Chains A and B, each alone.
Chain A
């Protein structure tokens, strides 16, 4: 774990680069993290991040399938917004833990 200053705010990140405390998150931090992933955050991205944060706060487990059924974006769209690993990347930008795939 390391403390880092992102967008003028001190945040704690784990070894995978995920925020360890989701309450430290704000939109400016998301924008900075997005740059590291090569993504320019738009409103579309932000809607997904807010959805993820909301579901996380409600204690729900998240999956690509679930986001695809949310009405915010379909799965194809999600891959376009966050190429490579849509749920892993979007979760990181949303300041919530890396999704666990259980066995």
Chain B
């Protein structure tokens, strides 16, 4: 009996458990999935909570609903992995052996990494929206806020869902307009990047949208610390930006168990072959989703497209065959732009987001790098697709490889 161990039961791990359980003969393989938390969070929905569009109950379901029946589930904290001896030690002393591992422990926000960020103003005037607690705290703050200077800051690259901070300021613009205080709210988007986004065409489109919505962009700002008494953020080169409310995208890091296992880089992300998605150091470990150090977005869509590659390569590895599937870094992101509209970007390692139609060339229905109502409905429908199709590892009518069809290159 061979043991397959999936560490992490988030978007990536859950999809993998479902794919593997359908394919593998249970008289030959035992599948176990490990997670510390019994709740599954619909993370794309957290963004909507501060504006009262979703509430807590729209974004949580028990993880157990999505794990296949014939998979062992272990809830608990991982102490460390001993990859030389194919063992995982849990904090409660339990030991799990494995023959093959899918490492899907994700990324988490670490406000502690920035001096003054998680201090006396935390959840009072300084917020984040990547956790349910944070998103709900910000919702409660906005209920009574009369306006002032709202600063959104990205602390460090890379971070989960690179479009979320853009969506946040777009939705904030719409929200404050709708409640009638937009003229009293000053929105500033502060980023360590040279512009609103990383790639030229998307940066241009999004930069123009920022201007249209009267949102200031401060590029090349690398935050060193937060001054709680004077309510300002300070960069390493001594630039200062004052705030009345600070919405932070804190430093993202992989879980501490990766650090304790000596398997990560300086941000606890795991060195991974960007094509095969196998660990660079251990032949029997594949890395799926945000935990990997591959140069693409940390996003559910990436985990989804990558899961096809990990699945195929793991099957090959189990049978001792060469790893043939190659990941192209494909990412596909909806961008909510407020007032019932949205945009979509589709890109990979080599191709930046381009204008066009998706998924059908010339037809759509979605418009790439365009701001449309249909794109917004795509995002609205996506929650249903996520819970009912994607997590369960069912086939989606989308290719995992990015396609140039429908994209305009000139």
Residues of A within 8 A of B (CB): 61, 63-66, 69, 75-76, 78-79, 83-85, 100-103
Contact = CB atoms under 8 A, between A and B. Distances in A.
Contacts of B162: 103
Interface string B325-349: 0000001000000000000000100
A101 B236 CA distance: 19
Given A69-B266, A75-B236, A76-B236, A102 B158 contact: yes
Which of B162, B237, B297 has most chain A Cβ within 10 Å? B237
The B interface is mostly helix, strand or loop, or mixed, namely loop
Nearest to B156: A65
Nearest to A78: B236
A103 B408 CA distance: 20
A61 B267 CA distance: 12
6 contacts: A65-B266, A75-B222, A79-B237, A102-B198, A102-B296, A103-B331
Which of A61, A63, A83, A100 has most chain B Cβ within 10 Å? A63
Size category of the binding interface on chain B:
20 to 34
Contacts of A84: 220, 237
Given A85-B220, A100-B295, A102-B295, A66 B266 contact: yes
Contacts of B296: 102-103
A85 B193 CA distance: 10
Contact of A75 (B220, B224, B266): B224
B336 to A, nearest CB: 17
Contacts of A78: 236
A35 B80 CA distance: 49
Nearest to B347: A103
B185 interface: no
Interface of B: 156-158, 162, 193, 197-199, 220, 222, 224, 236-237, 266-267, 293, 295-297, 331, 347
The A interface is mostly helix, strand or loop, or mixed, namely loop
A103 B197 CA distance: 8
B266 A101 contact: no
A101 B296 CA distance: 10
Nearest to B345: A103
Contacts of B237: 79, 83-84
Given A65-B266, A103-B197, 8 more contacts: A61-B295, A65-B156, A69-B266, A84-B237, A101-B157, A103-B199, A103-B296, A103-B297
Nearest to B352: A103
A63 B295 contact: no
B227 to A, nearest CB: 16
A75 B297 CA distance: 25
A23 B347 CA distance: 32
A63 B236 contact: no
Nearest to B296: A102
Nearest to A61: B295
A12 to B, nearest CB: 22
Nearest to A85: B220
Contacts of B220: 84-85
A35 to B, nearest CB: 21
Contacts of B199: 103
Nearest to A80: B237
Nearest to A102: B295
Contacts of B347: 103
Nearest to A74: B236
Contacts of A103: 158, 162, 197-199, 296-297, 331, 347
Contacts of B157: 63, 101-102
A83 B157 CA distance: 20
Nearest to A77: B236
A89 to B, nearest CB: 12
Nearest to A87: B222
Contacts of B331: 103
A62 to B, nearest CB: 11
Contacts of B198: 101-103
A63 B157 CA distance: 9
Which of A61, A101, A103 has most chain B Cβ within 10 Å? A103
Contacts of B293: 61
Which of A75, A100, A101 has most chain B Cβ within 10 Å? A101
A65 B266 CA distance: 9
A76 B238 CA distance: 9
Nearest to A70: B266
Contacts of B156: 65
Given A103-B162, A103-B296, A103-B331, A76 B222 contact: no
A53 to B, nearest CB: 19
B275 to A, nearest CB: 14
A76 B297 CA distance: 28
Q: Which 10 A-B pairs have the closest CB atoms?
A: A102-B295, A79-B237, A103-B198, A79-B236, A103-B162, A75-B236, A103-B297, A101-B198, A76-B236, A101-B157
